[in-house]
Amino acid sequence: MIEVRDLKKSFFTPAGELKVLKGINLSIKAGEMVAIAGASGVGKSTLLHILGALDRPTSGNVFYEGGDVFSLDDYSLAAFRNTSIGFVFQFHHLLPEFTAFENVMMPGLINLGSRVQGFKGLSFKEIVERAEKLFDELGIYARKDHRPGELSGGEQQRVAVARALILEPKVVLADEPTGNLDTHTGEELFKLLLELNEKKGITFVIVTHNESLSKQCHRVLEMVDGRFK
Ligand SMILES: Nc1ncnc2c1ncn2[C@@H]1O[C@H](COP(=O)(O)OP(=O)(O)OP(=O)(O)O)[C@@H](O)[C@H]1O
Ligand SMILES: [Mg+2]
């Protein structure tokens, strides 16, 4: 599903070149649930952003189902990201002025009417139906018309998961999705991700510091000094 080859990423700062990723090689099968661990500042988020095509690497390749992602131009890359990958962040990044339901519909609305090749343009009705189904499945239906500020942390994160799933991506990338939740709520959220992996076969890459959660994944990869151990 995902193949990463000799991936390097440097940031160029006034103090000089900061080499963060120093040659990452990685192969993730469809339906796998992989945890990424490692000390703060080691480059986990940087890697996830590149896997999610939110940022380009300095060198190296990322292949999704054999296709070289970064050979795409920015426009096609944005289309690929929108339709193929779901992202869940540590802080939900929901839009505060919109209801939970509107937030979940958003990726579908962005893609309405677009003619970029590879877009699965959905109708407005289809987006509403999918969103309703997700709110039901994730146990937040009764909160769908609340704004993010009127939801608990766990509910907000469930809404963020629903938003990541609305376009039915094959891959979901999650950067410390439970990092901002109390232990119990974090476990519940993680259980939900495990269920989505098992029932829907979604491939997950999850950055987490929590060992009791990461050991429930199929594999745990530890990042040390810009590489996997
Ligand atoms: N845009 C940027 N410009 C310059 N340096 C950056 C940039 N983004 C990240 N860095 C640096 O790259 C390194 C890796 O950052 P990253 O956010 O990937 O770490 P992390 O492993 O996710 O850490 P944490 O567990 O604290 O979230 C850090 O030293 C950080 O300061
Ligand atoms: Mg991080």
Q: Is the CB of 156 under 6 A from ligand 1?
A: no
Residues forming beta bridges with residue 33, ordered by sequence position: 204
Residue 116: per-residue pLDDT = 52
Greater confidence (90 vs 214) lies with: 214
Nearest ligand, measured from the Cα of 49: 1
Average pLDDT over residues 168-184: 90
Q: Is the CB of 11 under 6 A from ligand 1?
A: yes
Confidence class of residue 145 from pLDDT cuts 50, 70 and 90? very high
Nearest Cα to Cα of residue 46 among 169, 72, 36, 1: 36
CA distance 107 to 17: 35
Residue nearest to atom 1 of ligand 1 (CA): 11
Q: Which atom of ligand 1 is nearest to the CA of 49?
A: 18
Q: 54 C-alpha vs ligand 1 centroid, how far in Å? A: 14
Q: pTM (2 decimals)?
A: 0.90
Domain range list for the chain? 2-228
Q: 225 C-alpha vs ligand 1 centroid, how far in Å? A: 12
Per-residue pLDDT reduced to its tens digit, 4-57 = 999 999 999 999 999 999 999 999 999 999 999 999 999 999 999 999 999 999
Q: 133 C-alpha vs ligand 1 centroid, how far in Å? A: 36
Average pLDDT over residues 105-122: 70
3-state secondary structure of 148: helix
Residue 120: per-residue pLDDT = 57
In terms of CATH, what superfamily is 2-228? P-loop containing nucleotide triphosphate hydrolases (3.40.50.300)
- How much is the mean pLDDT over the chain? 91
